[in-house]
């Protein structure tokens, strides 16, 4: 059974990535590892952390209902999200990684962020990049 | 039936992309559109053009043998490969695009080329980026 790793953040690009990863896991009968990476420590306010927890619970339920074997990793270890994703992909020998690309500039133009670039370059496997839907 | 678009160049990254696209087309029972983009006109020497032709013939045979419905487009219209790929993906309403990432720098470090970045950002669909094998 193959494993798909998806980078999740509670934002439109994270939702888009998760949706696509779920479809791929269903199609391939693969296991899904959801990685939510947080810089952690003093940066994280209680409110924001609690919000992510609720969000991850929802994701667990959704994957349970879809009958997908899964694991949700909430990493607060001060690594860059890109490093976390690549490390997990190496550890589980991922078939591929799914990441979401976000719209950044004020005019809504997409810019390839440094995290996305690093995942694309450093990943030990192919990377599927999906875009967040328009707001 | 979905359609997968793959950017092909007769180089290691092009072979890696094609191999992966073929696997995905088989898995999804999708149609494959192979796009080989060449700047064309006076830039192209007779020898190089003939080499590409032979190469594309080989690809057609390989896809025939794999039983994959396909189309090979050899575009010599002076557009950037990224623009060609995005235009074809829009035209055929591609499910996703497969591109290969190449090793560029003298020390073999991967650098995300401007064509890859533009496909990732401008594509109307998800993009699967695969790496060329080590030489």
Could you give the 3-state DSSP secondary structure of residue A134?
Answer: coil
The pLDDT-based confidence of B93 (bands split at 50, 70, 90) is: very high
Please report the pLDDT score of residue B46 as a whole number: 63
Q: Which residue has the higher pLDDT, B44 or A15?
A: A15
Q: pLDDT confidence of B106, banded at 50, 70, 90? A: low
pLDDT, residue A95, reads: 96
User: CA A5, A9, A10, A13 torsion: positive or negative?
Assistant: negative
Q: Helix, strand, or coil here: A7?
A: strand
pLDDT in tens, A11-20: 899 999 999 9
B77 three-state secondary structure: coil
Cβ of A129 and B131 within 8 Å?
no
Per-residue pLDDT, B36: 93
Quick one: pLDDT at residue B34? 97
Query: Among all residues of chain A, which has the CA nearest to that of B103?
Result: A121
pLDDT of A40 reads: 60
Dihedral angle computed from the Cα positions of residues A14, A18, A24 and A30, in that order, rounded to the nearest 10 degrees:
120
- Token pair of B74 as six digits: 């050899």
Share of chain A above pLDDT 90, in %: 61
B121 and A112 within 8 Å at the Cβ level: the answer is: yes
- Closest-CA distance, B41 to chain A, in angstroms, reads 32
Which pair of tokens denotes residue A113?
Answer: 């962020």
User: From the CB of residue B85, how many other CB atoms can be counted at a distance below 10 Å?
Assistant: 29
Q: How much is the average pLDDT of B6-17?
A: 92
Calculate ∠ Cα B34-B25-A27, nearest 5°.
Answer: 145
Task: For chain A, give the longest Cα–Cα distance.
Answer: 42
Q: What would the mean pLDDT of B73-81 be, rounded to a whole number?
A: 85
Q: Give the residue from chain B lying closest to A120, CA to CA.
A: B129
d(Cα A30, Cα A22) in Å, to the nearest integer? 9
Which of B121, B123, B129 faces A127 most closely, judged by CB atoms? B129
Going by their DSSP bridges, the two strands B127-131 and A3-7 should be labelled as unpaired
Checking if the pLDDT of B37 tops 90, the result is no
Inter-chain touch A28–B28, beta carbons under 8 Å = no
pLDDT in tens, A55-86: 889 999 999 999 999 999 988 877 889 999 99
Residues of A with Cβ-Cβ distance to B128 under 8 angstroms: 96, 126-129
Cα distance between residue B98 and residue B22, in whole Å: 10
What pLDDT, on a 0 to 100 scale, did the predictor assign at position A41?
55
CB atoms within 10 A of CB A107: 6
What does B43-93 look like in DSSP terms, one character per residue? G--HHHHHHHHHHHHHHHHHHHHTT--EEEEEE-SS--HHHHHHHHHHHTT
Contact B121 A101 (CB under 8 A): yes
Residues near A126 by Cβ (< 8 Å), separated by ≥ 6? A95, A96, A97, B20, B128, B129, B130, B131
Helix, strand, or coil (residue A75): strand
Asked if B121 and A130 come within 8 Å (Cβ–Cβ), the reply is no
Residue A107: per-residue pLDDT? 72
Contact between residue B6 and residue B61 where contact means Cβ atoms under 8 Å apart: no
- Residue-averaged pLDDT of chain A: 87
């Amino acid at each position: 059974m193959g494993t798909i790793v998806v980078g999740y953040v509670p934002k439109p690009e994270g939702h888009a990535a998760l949706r696509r990863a779920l479809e791929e896991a269903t199609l391939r009968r693969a296991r899904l590892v959801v990685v939510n990476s947080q810089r952690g420590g003093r940066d994280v306010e209680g409110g924001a952390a609690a919000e992510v927890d609720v969000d991850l619970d929802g994701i667990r339920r959704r994957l349970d209902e879809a009958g997908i074997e899964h694991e949700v990793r909430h990493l607060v270890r001060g690594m860059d999200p890109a490093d976390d994703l690549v490390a997990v992909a190496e550890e589980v020998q991922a078939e591929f990684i799914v990441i979401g690309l976000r719209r950044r500039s004020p005019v809504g133009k997409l810019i390839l962020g440094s995290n996305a670039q690093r995942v694309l370059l450093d990943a030990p496997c192919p990377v599927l990049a999906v875009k967040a839907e328009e707001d």
